[in-house]
């Protein structure tokens, strides 16, 4: 199913009633919202306020009755769009050429100027319906996708959770049930599974949806900055504190605060955070006045919190305070039924960057996707699809023109068929002893066993082994060349 709100928005900047009629009829037929304005300021206001996916603009623009009689040059609008929204595609509609070679020369000159100013195409008034439809298919593909949840604000998409697998539907329904409550929410899952999207869903479905939604990336802040970033500081609290600064907790008053990757905070800070969550007040850095706040906290982590607690890296009492309700997002390897929807979703999202009209997914590519374990999850799939769109050609999305992706997307189990079970996992034969084996074989077994234990995640495996990602990658390439990927 495709969500009825998954509708693109096209801005038509033209006061020609015939052009407006043609354009709006075509857009309505294709299920695209058309927005008609007749002057530059209105166009810039619309683009800046929400989600605009494509602009058609006339060669000249009506200045309005309260403006000077001179009709502004449409190229002015194109230049302003290019300066502020450089990736927004713009198509110019120019007046028809006058008879004779001089008129044709003027049209050619305008077309060259339009392209140099950033236009992606150039049409002659009145535009041909077939040409407009081709442009819409290229820049605004609308392949049907199954959407578990999405939300819009005016024309801007706040979030979209793609998929129809049982794990996705179950997690989304649970998030919708807990959203109206005031319970703190802990969202866990591997990197790239969409934890931030789920956090946005919880906020948007809550009674705090009209309040602020403030995000803090705990992993991006140093220990010394955490206090000031979350709680703010008074003027003169430290060198460089030239004015009072409100922290993220204060900014989120009446709304939701997302603490992304909460496990990256030091234990000293966790103690202070626990007190704030319990009492709903705090003191700014360098201040003594208690600042009351009413904030719902949503936290995310890609780590096993119970293991972090056992190893002394995370406070147990803070864990119980944050995990009023837990949402666990399944990795992509456990929801492969969603692969076609996700691929088409990213085609819809990125096809306009490369102006490719994709009508088909290569079955061989989809077979590779289905067999791969996706350690980077949905984020990795997005990057693979985007790379394939950029480097490929034609109307079929495939990996044929991106040969290096084949190596990256090959499951370890397929490198050597011996010792593999039907599920595609490598048999490590960990019960066999290492005595009498050459050191090189011991190293190979250690690497493959660790990759097996980490689900094929090379970054985690390298960290466990105490080697760099590059060293691990070099070893794997060597094992493939030698045909010795299977442990001895």
**Do 301 and 181 share a structural domain?**
yes
Is the pLDDT reported for residue 219 higher than 70?
yes
Is the pLDDT reported for residue 366 higher than 80?
yes
Residue at 352 is within a domain: yes
User: Of the candidates 193, 203, 167, 148, which has an alpha carbon nearest to the alpha carbon of residue 6?
Assistant: 148
Per-residue pLDDT at 415: 41
Q: What is the CATH number of the domain that holds 353?
A: 1.10.8.60
Residue at 63 is within a domain: yes
**Do 315 and 202 share a structural domain?**
yes
**Do 262 and 196 share a structural domain?**
yes
According to DSSP, residue 58 is labeled E
Residue at 145 is within a domain: no
Q: What is the pLDDT of residues 236-256, one digit of tens each?
A: 777 777 788 888 988 999 999
CA separation, residue 72 to residues 40, 47, 103, 152, 238 (Å): 8, 18, 21, 33, 52
- Rounded to 5 degrees, φ, ψ at 316 are -65, -40
Token pair 């350690």 is found at 375
**Do 300 and 177 share a structural domain?**
yes
Is the pLDDT reported for residue 19 higher than 90?
no
Residues 7-15 have a mean pLDDT of 88
Is the pLDDT reported for residue 204 higher than 70?
yes
Question: Which is more confidently placed, 205 or 155?
Answer: 205
Residues 11-25 have a mean pLDDT of 89
CA separation, residue 180 to residues 121, 168, 204, 285, 320 (Å): 47, 20, 9, 33, 20
Split at pLDDT 50, 70, 90, the class of 257 is very high
> Cis ω on the peptide bond leading into residue 120 (within 30° of 0)?
no
**Do 465 and 449 share a structural domain?**
yes
Pairing of strands 9-13, 33-37: parallel
**Do 322 and 192 share a structural domain?**
yes
Is the pLDDT reported for residue 181 higher than 80?
yes
CA distance 246 to 235: 11
CA distance 384 to 388: 6
Split at pLDDT 50, 70, 90, the class of 354 is confident
Q: What is the CATH number of the domain that holds 243?
A: 3.40.50.300
Q: What is the pLDDT of residues 394-439, one digit of tens each?
A: 899 998 878 788 778 876 544 433 334 433 333 333 444 555 556 6
CA distance 396 to 320: 50
**Do 101 and 13 share a structural domain?**
yes
**Do 474 and 431 share a structural domain?**
yes
Domain extent for 34:
9-139
CA separation, residue 161 to residues 145, 189, 341 (Å): 11, 15, 11
Q: What is the pLDDT of residues 282-325, one digit of tens each?
A: 888 887 788 888 999 999 999 999 999 999 999 999 999 999 99
**Do 323 and 357 share a structural domain?**
no
Half-sphere exposure of 127 (CA within 13 A, CB side): 30
Question: Which is more confidently placed, 4 or 133?
Answer: 133
Is the pLDDT reported for residue 487 higher than 80?
no
Residues 134-142 have a mean pLDDT of 89
Residues 157-178 have a mean pLDDT of 93
Residues 47-64 have a mean pLDDT of 79
Round the average pLDDT of the chain to a whole number and report it: 83
Cα 233 to its chain centre, rounded Å, is 32
Q: What is the CATH number of the domain that holds 38?
A: 3.40.50.2300
**Do 317 and 176 share a structural domain?**
yes
Which string of DSSP letters, residue by residue, matches 276-331?
Answer: HHHHSEEE-BT--SEEE---EEEEEESS-HHHHHHTTSS-HHHHHHH-SEEEEPPP
Residue at 439 is within a domain: yes
């Amino acid at each position: 199913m495709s969500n009825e709100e998954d509708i693109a928005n096209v801005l038509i900047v033209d006061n020609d009633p015939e052009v407006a009629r043609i354009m709006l009829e075509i857009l309505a037929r294709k299920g695209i919202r058309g927005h008609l304005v007749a002057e530059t300021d209105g166009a810039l206001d619309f683009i800046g306020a929400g989600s605009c996916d494509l602009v058609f603009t006339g060669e000249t623009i009506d200045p309005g009755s309260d403006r000077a009689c001179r009709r502004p040059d449409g190229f002015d609008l194109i230049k302003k769009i290019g300066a502020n929204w450089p990736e927004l595609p713009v198509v110019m509609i120019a007046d028809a050429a006058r008879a004779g070679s001089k008129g044709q020369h003027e049209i050619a000159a305008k077309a060259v100027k339009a392209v140099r100013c950033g236009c992606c195409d150039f049409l002659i008034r009145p535009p041909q319906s077939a040409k407009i439809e081709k442009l819409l298919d290229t820049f605004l593909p609308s392949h049907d996708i199954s959407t578990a949840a999405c939300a819009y604000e005016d024309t801007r998409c706040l979030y979209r959770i793609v998929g129809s697998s049982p794990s996705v539907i179950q997690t989304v329904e649970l998030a919708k049930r807990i959203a109206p409550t005031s319970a703190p929410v802990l969202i866990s899952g591997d990197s790239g599974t969409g934890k931030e999207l789920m956090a946005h869903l919880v906020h948007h479905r809550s009674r705090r949806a009209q309040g602020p939604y403030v995000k803090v990336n705990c992993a991006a802040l140093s220990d010394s900055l955490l206090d000031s970033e979350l709680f703010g500081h008074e003027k003169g609290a430290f060198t460089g504190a030239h004015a009072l600064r409100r922290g993220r907790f204060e900014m989120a008053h009446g709304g939701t605060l997302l603490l992304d990757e909460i496990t990256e905070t030091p234990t000293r800070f966790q103690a202070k955070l626990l007190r704030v969550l319990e009492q709903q007040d705090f003191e700014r850095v360098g201040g003594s006045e208690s600042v009351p706040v009413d904030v719902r906290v949503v936290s995310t982590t890609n780590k096993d919190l119970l293991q972090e607690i056992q190893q002394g890296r995370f406070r147990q009492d803070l864990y119980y305070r944050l995990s009023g309700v837990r949402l666990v997002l399944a990795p992509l390897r456990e929801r492969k039924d969603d692969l076609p929807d996700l691929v088409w979703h990213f085609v819809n999202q990125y096809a306009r960057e490369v102006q490719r009209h994709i009508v088909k997914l290569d079955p061989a590519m989809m077979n590779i996707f289905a067999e791969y374990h996706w350690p980077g999850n949905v984020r990795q799939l997005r990057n693979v699809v985007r790379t394939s769109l950029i480097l490929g050609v034609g109307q079929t999305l495939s990996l044929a023109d991106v040969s290096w992706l084949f190596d990256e997307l090959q499951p370890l189990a397929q490198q050597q068929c011996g010792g593999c079970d039907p599920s595609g996992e490598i048999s490590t034969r960990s019960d066999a002893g290492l005595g009498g084996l050459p050191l090189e074989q011991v190293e190979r077994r250690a690497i493959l066993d660790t990759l097996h234990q980490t689900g094929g995640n090379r970054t985690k495996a390298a960290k466990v082994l105490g080697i760099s990602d590059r060293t691990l990658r070099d070893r794997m390439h060597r094992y493939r060349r030698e045909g010795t990927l299977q442990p001895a």
